[in-house]
């Protein structure tokens, strides 16, 4: 890393990553909780969403931004529902169609890889498949799926 770039990163020493960051991505990060080239995109997304998270312990609840919680919960649903298309996700969540479409469109911005599997003749007949969780820790999301769902129903 050049001196100019190094100075730039030293100025921005703020941890941006919550407990939901996967171990694989934690190992890639060279900054130990500070801003670096590996977590730049994640930092930007965390800053935009205003993410506040704490590890759940006895007596402590989980506080997380509803926008980010919605994205995490939808990722979990995509892996646990059989052939999750928008109408089926509407049934599961009770969210409006447009909200689901917006969240699905925003997931690649977090580094999550989605694939639309077409079924049948029509181009929009099919379901979504989550192929890569990216920087998100699937185990953490699965462990806290119910808490995420509850926080979303309370926020509504």
Note the pLDDT tens digit of each residue in 47-85: 444 443 433 333 345 567 888 889 999 999 999 999 999
pTM assigned to the model? 0.65
- Cα-flanking dihedrals φ and ψ of residue 82, to 5°? -85, 120
- For the chain, helix (H) and strand (E) counts, in that order, are 8, 2
- Cα-flanking dihedrals φ and ψ of residue 30, to 5°? -100, -5
Q: Of 36, 7, 103, 63, which is closest to residue 16 (Cα–Cα)?
A: 36
CA atoms in the 13 A half-sphere facing the CB of 31: 21
**Does 31 have pLDDT greater than 60?**
no
CA atoms in the 13 A half-sphere facing the CB of 63: 5
Q: For the domain 66-155, what is the CATH code?
A: 1.10.10.10
In the chain, list all ranges with CATH 1.10.10.10: 66-155
Note the pLDDT tens digit of each residue in 83-103: 999 999 999 999 999 999 999
- CA-to-CA separations, 46 to 5, 21, 42, 95, in angstroms, rounded: 22, 11, 6, 23
The more confident residue out of 33 and 143 is 143
């Amino acid at each position: 890393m050049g001196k100019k770039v190094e100075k730039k990163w030293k100025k921005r020493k703020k941890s941006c990553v919550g407990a939901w960051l996967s171990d694989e991505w934690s190992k890639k990060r060279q900054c130990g909780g500070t801003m670096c080239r590996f977590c730049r995109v994640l930092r930007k997304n965390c800053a935009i969403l205003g993410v506040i998270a704490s590890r759940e312990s006895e007596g402590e609840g989980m506080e997380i931004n509803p926008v980010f919680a919605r994205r995490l919960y939808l990722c979990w649903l995509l892996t646990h529902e059989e052939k999750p298309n928008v109408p089926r996700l509407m049934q599961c969540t009770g969210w409006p169609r447009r909200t689901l479409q917006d969240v699905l469109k925003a997931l690649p911005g977090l580094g999550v890889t989605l694939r639309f599997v077409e079924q049948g003749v029509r181009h929009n007949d099919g379901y979504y498949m989550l192929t890569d969780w990216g920087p998100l820790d699937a185990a953490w999301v699965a462990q806290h799926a119910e808490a995420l769902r509850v926080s979303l129903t309370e926020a509504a």
